[in-house]
Structure 1
Amino acid sequence: ITVHNSQGSTFLECGVDGQDLSKRLNPERGDSAKALLAKVREHNRLWYVGASRARQRILIVA
């Protein structure tokens, strides 16, 4: 299940692939500060959603 599809659900245990989430953060040449800030905020939001789905245990692969 993806982080986007997991919103609103909780699970006993979850795994989060940090490498996949970090790929979304890479700035592209010519990105403005505003565009980069939007990427950082989305990255943080996805991390929060992924990490907050676990009720007991979370596995983070970096």
Structure 2
Amino acid sequence: MAMTHPHDNIRVGAITFVYSVTKRGWVFPGLSVIRNPLKAQRLAEEINNKRGGLYAQSISR
């Protein structure tokens, strides 16, 4: 899903980073805030890939 507005939530697979208007950035696990949308997108992809990898390993056993 593409971002149509600069303050949209970032969603990658099962991962969603919610945009916080008050903190002016995307909130990710641990309640840290990322203000760079490209960095937030990359982190969402990394987390999604790690979760997918763990899921795939548990199925293959």
| TM-score range normalised by the length of the shorter chain | 0.3 to 0.5
How does the TM-score come out when normalised to structure 1?
A: 0.41
What TM-score comes out, normalization by structure 2 length? Answer: 0.42
Q: Which has the bigger relative contact order, CA under 8 A and spacing at least 6?
A: 1
Greater share of helix? 1
